[in-house]
Amino acid sequence: MLTWPHAHSDWRPWLAEVEPVFVAIAHAVAEREQVIITAYDAAHLAHISTLLQRAGVALGRVHLHIAPSNDTWVRDHGPITVTKNGAPLLLDFIFNGWGDKFDATLDNELIRRLHAQGAFGATPLTSIDFVLEGGSIEVDGAGSLLTTERCLLSPQRNPALNRAAIETRLHEWLGVERVLWLAHGYLAGDDTDSHIDTLARFCSPGTICYVACDDAQDEHYAELKAMEQELQALRSAAGVPYRLIPLPWPQAKYGDDGRRLPASYANFLIINGAVLAPTYDDPADNAALVRLKTCFPDRVIIAIPCLPLIRQYGSLHCVTMQLPADVL
């Protein structure tokens, strides 16, 4: 899934820069699987269709729908899919703009609008009165969920619930057996309160890759070292340490206002037979691609230039949401 950037969002000044990133993502994904794209209105849909056609995107695998949105971060306003009784079930959690930092009224309604249009076929949708963003959780497919205290315990999300209550709900709704918490780790410029998908990711049930800062003068050094030590202390469901793969640290990137931007190589997207990897016109890009190949030896690693995305403080994984094939 992609929610396409538009002139009614904060992307307005940078549409010419950011739309090619979305075209590149759509092109790479459509070569291997179906793509659902949400347009703001009919004129926007026609514009997107023209862009995709010019780029040679396999339009037979693209499904275009209309639903107004505030922004593009479908990882956080999109549905989280679980399997129930052998069939997919879409879970529509509340999205409140990362703790009421931004207006997200339209984003919070988007999935229900698409579902009413038949965008997900006959797949049922359940709305849940609980704030949860897709970027705040990372699962291994085998019962373990990794997350951060800064985000899930944020008082601006579910203030009436403590850690134990949140864990109980994650077990119930997502079917996970274990919740692994990180107390450390952040990226400057990040608006999400340390989403896990910018920090550490499961590559397999026994392997975690993570951002590692090797510059002792960098503001992130102490926090990411502490996060690394937390990851080293974690044990898999089998009771053994995880295989930990550190990802390279890119040079500091800054926006026009001088604010540091959250460039992270951990914000990759796993698709059928491939991994789409963000690059940032940085000397560390090639090393990051090589490192990700060691994490996913059986998949093709495809570089997607994502420097324009971090202008709005997110990256490749943040603007995408995967669905199982049975949904369509």
Residues identified as active-site:
318
- What's at 223, amino acid-wise? E
Q: Return d(Cα 181, Cα 199) in angstroms, integer.
A: 12
Q: Return d(Cα 164, Cα 177) in angstroms, integer.
A: 13
* Cβ atoms within 10 Å, residue 234: 17
- 100 to each of 3, 185, 221, how far by Cα in Å? 20, 22, 29
Q: Return d(Cα 154, Cα 151) in angstroms, integer.
A: 5
H helical segments located in the chain: 15-30, 42-54, 74-77, 97-100, 105-116, 149-152, 163-174, 221-233, 285-295
C-alpha atoms less than 13 angstroms from C-alpha of 23 in its C-beta half-sphere: 17
Q: Return d(Cα 89, Cα 82) in angstroms, integer.
A: 5
* 279: nearest Cα among 227, 254, 316, 246: 316
* 213: nearest Cα among 260, 249, 263: 249
- What's at 156, amino acid-wise? Q
Burial of 106 (0-12, 13-18, 19+ CB in 10 A): middle
Residue-wise DSSP of 188-255: TT-SSSS-GGGTEEEEETTEEEEE----TTSTTHHHHHHHHHHHHH-B-TTSSBPEEEEEP-PPPEE-
Q: Return d(Cα 269, Cα 317) in angstroms, integer.
A: 5
